[in-house]
């Protein structure tokens, strides 16, 4: 295999598009004419927790119907192929909160924007997984203290989990190769990861259906839907 290790894979909403999950900024990304940036914020939740939960409940119901596609499965295959050589030379960092990578079997991964299936109590701090779709009541309340629950995701203006970010930045700084799959490369600090890797001399391959701000800087730009482009690219690596 010609791939320079360690390998870092960064994914965004585009990798789940062919599974039917609405992307953030694509034409299907709107909900009741709200943009994600207007609803995925602590301010929006404080102002109207029910509205924000109606949006998340809609997304959870949409995502619950979706299954991983060939691109998710390709990343699982790449992980086992690379990890066979050296278990510490693979990391998947996903911006997605849909849980499709875990469903496909990915293990060595960081979910830097959290999970739509996790909930946290804003009063007592309890957190856990709730896969009910639809949710029984909006907003959902904490079983132990009756406080309001929030989605277990990172909102705009919120800091990412320090450990998750540290491990992701370490992987970017040490990467030999980075695969950037289905992201508009607009949201920071996630979008800074390929930039960091490029500065350190990593070989960066972007998989997207259109150009992004990262495109001019990558070594390989593979145009096409990820569920076709990624398995085809990987087949060429292991030939
Ligand atoms: C933070 C979870 C410190 C919630 C999300 C100005 C400059 C720089 C930064 C900022 C700035 N102003 C504000 C900021 C900071 C802000 C930011 O980056 N804003 C952007 C919009 C400018 N970042 C933050 O706030 C972050 N925190 O910085 O903390 C801090 C602390 C206090 C105060 C200030 C700063 C937190 C960011 C996390 C936000 N949460 N999601 C939820 O999901 O509900 S981000 C959200 O966008 C999703 O996670 C999503 O993954 C992410 C990125 O979007 P993409 O995944 O790329 O999806 P998108 O729809 O955009 O694009 C899809 C791509 O796929 C497209 O390129 C498309 O062409 C392609 N595609 C489509 N179909 C296919 C395909 N590709 C292949 N195949 C296909 N079939
Ligand atoms: Zn509670």
pLDDT tens, position by position, 7-17: 999 999 999 99
Distances (CA, A) of 44 to 58, 103, 112, 130, 186: 17, 30, 21, 22, 21
8 A C-beta contact, residue 78 and residue 9: yes
Ligand 1 atom closest to residue 36's alpha carbon, by position in its atom list: 44
Provide the strand spans (E) within the chain.
7-11, 90-94, 109-111, 114-121, 127-129, 149-153, 177-181, 203-208, 220-223
Phi and psi (nearest 5°) for 145?
-120, 0
Our answer on whether the CB atom of 187 is closer than 6 Å to any ligand 1 atom is yes
Q: Is the model's pLDDT at 199 over the cut of 70?
A: yes
Mean pLDDT of 198-224: 98
* Cα–Cα distance, 166 to 149 (Å, whole number): 27
Our answer on whether the CB atom of 69 is closer than 6 Å to any ligand 1 atom is no
When mean pLDDT is compared across 26-35, 39-48, 55-64, the lowest value belongs to 26-35
Question: Dmax of the chain from CA atoms?
Answer: 57
Mean pLDDT of 198-218: 98
User: What's the confidence (pLDDT) of residue 194?
Assistant: 98
Q: Is the model's pLDDT at 25 over the cut of 80?
A: no
Best of 9, 12, 189 to mutate for ligand 1, by most ligand atoms within 8 A of CB?
12
Mean pLDDT of 41-61: 97
Among all ligands shown, which has an atom nearest to the Cα of 37? Answer: 1
Our answer on whether the CB atom of 22 is closer than 6 Å to any ligand 1 atom is no
Count of residues in the chain: 239
Rounded to the nearest whole angstrom, what is the distance from the C-alpha of residue 154 to the centroid of ligand 2?
Answer: 19
Our answer on whether the CB atom of 31 is closer than 6 Å to any ligand 1 atom is no
8 A C-beta contact, residue 81 and residue 238: yes
Rounded to the nearest whole angstrom, what is the distance from the C-alpha of residue 186 to the centroid of ligand 1?
Answer: 6
Q: Is the model's pLDDT at 2 over the cut of 80?
A: no
Q: Is 113 a catalytic residue?
A: yes
User: What's the confidence (pLDDT) of residue 35?
Assistant: 86
User: What's the confidence (pLDDT) of residue 239?
Assistant: 80
Average pLDDT, the chain: 95
Mean pLDDT of 27-41: 83
Rounded to the nearest whole angstrom, what is the distance from the C-alpha of residue 39 to the centroid of ligand 1?
Answer: 13
Q: Is the model's pLDDT at 121 over the cut of 70?
A: yes
Predicted confidence band of residue 28 (pLDDT cuts 50, 70, 90): low
8 A C-beta contact, residue 158 and residue 42: yes
Our answer on whether the CB atom of 96 is closer than 6 Å to any ligand 1 atom is yes
Rounded to the nearest whole angstrom, what is the distance from the C-alpha of residue 167 to the centroid of ligand 1?
Answer: 19
The contacts of residue 168 (CB under 8 Å, 6+ apart) are 91, 93, 110, 112, 190, 193
| pTM of the complete model | 0.96
Ligand 1, atom 66: closest residue by C-alpha: 184
């Amino acid at each position: 295999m010609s791939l320079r290790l360690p390998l870092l894979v960064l994914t965004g909403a585009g990798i789940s598009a062919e599974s039917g999950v609405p992307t953030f900024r694509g034409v299907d990304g709107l909900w009741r004419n709200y943009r994600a940036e207007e609803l995925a914020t602590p301010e929006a939740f404080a102002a109207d927790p029910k509205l924000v939960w109606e949006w998340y409940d809609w997304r959870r119901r949409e995502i619950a119907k979706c299954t991983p596609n060939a691109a998710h499965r390709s990343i699982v295959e790449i992980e086992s192929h690379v990890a066979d050589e050296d278990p510490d030379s693979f990391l998947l960092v996903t911006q997605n909160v849909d849980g499709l990578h875990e469903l496909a079997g990915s293990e060595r991964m960081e979910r830097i924007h959290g999970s739509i299936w996790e909930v946290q109590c804003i009063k007592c701090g309890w957190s856990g997984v709730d896969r009910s779709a639809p949710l029984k009541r909006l907003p959902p309340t904490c079983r132990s203290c009756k406080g309001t629950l929030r989605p277990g995701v990172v909102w705009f203006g919120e800091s990412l989990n320090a450990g998750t970010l540290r491990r992701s930045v370490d992987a970017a700084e040490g990467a030999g190769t980075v695969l950037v799959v289905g992201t508009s490369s607009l949201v920071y600090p996630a979008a800074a990861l390929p930039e960091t890797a490029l500065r350190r001399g990593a070989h960066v391959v972007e998989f997207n259906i259109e150009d992004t701000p990262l495109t001019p800087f990558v070594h390989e730009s593979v145009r096409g839907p990820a569920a076709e482009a990624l398995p085809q690219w990987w087949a060429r690596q292991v030939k």
